[in-house]
């Protein structure tokens, strides 16, 4: 039996009956290279999902534009019929070009089609949480999100969506969204080295809204830092575990969706929830992020293979 405390405890999405273990799983890495087409080894992808759920993960982040369609189809194959407590969070607002590019898909028809694609490929009658994804690849851009969000709110009234979140947004856009419908989570780019949202995280914590960092391990350019390495060595952990533990200790409203296609990395990541970082180590790690400390330029370096 899995002890929820071992996955960082639970976070209740506001105004919902949905409690998610804070250590979840992000499914984007399950598609093929460049998040396009099927993976080399579908059985391995299925095994990762099954192992995550068997270990107590009850929050999986996905989208129908991963693959496209592929990731959701693998989730359905691996886990359907879904455990009662599994919360699958998907996102709409983007689509893939034939050249594998990432394009906006924020028109009324695109959003309706995307919700139906998610329902069909996941094998669901309704979606627990749908994030409206706006902005650029990694950064939000100001501008009204009223039109697309109103469409999602309509689909929520129709019963196709239970709850709504937003992704890649600014605090101003969140405020606009909250005037249209209740927002249960924000999914933005944030990790130990990417700290632009520090104030936003704290504001959301005060309002009980989940903050779900995407690229918690650096995404397509996984984190590498001598400070992370030193912290990991001192704790008998790995640098990725330290990066995840730092997020869990950063704020109680942070829930994690690290992505991996590897069972070994999955196990390593889940075990990060058991790691307690001493305050001295947290102080050192804080110096990595966002140019806040003197260490930023000298401690972060790109992976040689990137
Ligand atoms: N809202 C948005 O705009 C948005 C954007 C991007 C992502 N997302 C969501 O956020 C989730 C997480 O993002 P992500 O998967 O792109 O990035 P991530 O979790 O920061 O990092 C994933 C990368 O780290 C590697 N990795 C994972 N665990 C590792 C470990 N223990 N040791 C070494 N390497 C490890 C993975 O490779 P291996 O497969 O080899 O482990 C992969 O290359 C996605 O699955 C997706 O659901 C949302």
pLDDT tens figures, 210-259: 999 999 999 999 999 999 999 999 999 999 999 999 999 999 999 999 99
Task: State whether the beta carbon of 141 lies less than 6 angstroms from ligand 1.
Answer: no
User: Which of the four pLDDT bands, split at 50, 70 and 90, describes residue 51?
Assistant: very high
What pLDDT was estimated at residue 295? 33
Residues 29-58: what's their mean pLDDT? Answer: 98
Determine whether 25 is an active site residue: no
Q: Is 272 helix (H, G, I), strand (E, B) or coil?
A: helix
Q: Per residue in 269-284, pLDDT tens?
A: 999 999 999 999 999 9
**Ligand 1 atom with the shortest distance to the CA of 216:** 20
Q: Which two tokens stand for residue 119?
A: 């329902």
Closest residue CA from atom 37 of ligand 1: 260
What pLDDT was estimated at residue 297? 31
Give the distance (Å) from ligand 1 centre to CA of residue 215: 6
Which runs of E-coded beta strand occur in the chain? 10-12, 19-21, 25-26, 59-61, 87-92, 94-96, 102-104, 127-133, 161-167, 183-187, 210-211
What pLDDT was estimated at residue 182? 98
Residues 186-195: what's their mean pLDDT? Answer: 97
What pLDDT was estimated at residue 290? 56
User: Which of the four pLDDT bands, split at 50, 70 and 90, describes residue 291?
Assistant: very low
User: Which one of 25, 66, 82, 190 is the catalytic residue?
Assistant: 66
Which runs of E-coded beta strand occur in 93-151? 94-96, 102-104, 127-133
- Cα–Cα nearest to 222, from 117, 304, 118: 304
Residues 38-67: what's their mean pLDDT? Answer: 98
Q: Where are the domains of the chain?
A: 19-219+253-274
Closest residue CA from atom 36 of ligand 1: 260
CB 151 within 8 A of CB 123: no
Give the distance (Å) from ligand 1 centre to CA of residue 35: 11
What pLDDT was estimated at residue 1? 52
Task: State whether the beta carbon of 222 lies less than 6 angstroms from ligand 1.
Answer: yes
| CA–CA separation, 299 and 306 (whole Å) | 17
CATH architecture of 19-219+253-274: Alpha-Beta Barrel (3.20)
What pLDDT was estimated at residue 305? 32
CB 22 within 8 A of CB 30: no
Output the CA angle 103-262-248, nearest 5 degrees: 80
Question: DSSP character for 290?
Answer: G
Q: How far is CA 251 from CA 6, 55, 200, 209, in A?
A: 17, 23, 11, 11
Q: What percent of the chain has a predicted confidence (pLDDT) above 70?
A: 93
User: Which of the four pLDDT bands, split at 50, 70 and 90, describes residue 200?
Assistant: very high
Task: State whether the beta carbon of 119 lies less than 6 angstroms from ligand 1.
Answer: no
User: Which of the four pLDDT bands, split at 50, 70 and 90, describes residue 300?
Assistant: very low
Residues 147-158: what's their mean pLDDT? Answer: 98
């Amino acid at each position: 039996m899995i002890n929820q405390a071992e996955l960082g405890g639970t976070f209740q999405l506001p105004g919902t009956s949905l409690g998610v273990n804070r250590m979840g799983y992000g499914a984007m890495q399950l598609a093929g290279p460049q998040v396009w087409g099927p993976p080399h080894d579908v059985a391995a992808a299925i095994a990762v999902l099954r192992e995550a759920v068997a270990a107590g993960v009850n929050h999986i982040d996905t989208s129908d534009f991963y693959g496209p369609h592929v990731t959701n189809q693998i989730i359905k194959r691996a886990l359907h019929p879904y455990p009662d407590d599994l919360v699958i969070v998907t996102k709409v607002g983007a689509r893939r070009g034939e050249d594998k590019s990432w394009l906006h898909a924020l028109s009324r028809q695109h959003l309706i089609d995307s919700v139906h694609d998610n329902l069909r490929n996941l094998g669901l009658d309704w979606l627990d949480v749908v994030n409206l994804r706006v902005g650029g690849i990694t950064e939000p851009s100001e501008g009204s999100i009223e039109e697309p969000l109103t469409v999602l709110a309509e689909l929520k009234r129709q019963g196709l969506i239970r709850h709504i979140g937003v992704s890649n947004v600014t605090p101003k856009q969140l405020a606009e969204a909250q005037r249209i419908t209740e927002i249960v989570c924000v999914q933005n780019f944030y990790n130990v080295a990417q700290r632009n949202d520090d104030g936003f995280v704290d504001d959301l914590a005060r309002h009980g809204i989940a903050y779900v960092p995407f690229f918690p391990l650096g995404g397509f350019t996984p984190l590498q830092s001598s400070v992370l390495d030193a912290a990991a060595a001192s704790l008998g952990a790995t640098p990725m575990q330290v990066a995840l533990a730092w997020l869990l200790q950063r704020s109680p409203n942070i829930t994690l969706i690290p992505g991996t296609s590897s069972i070994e990395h999955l196990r390593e990541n889940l075990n990060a929830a058991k790691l307690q970082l001493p305050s001295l180590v947290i102080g050192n790690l804080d110096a990595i992020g966002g140019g806040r400390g003197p260490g930023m330029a000298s401690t972060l370096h790109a992976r040689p293979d990137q």
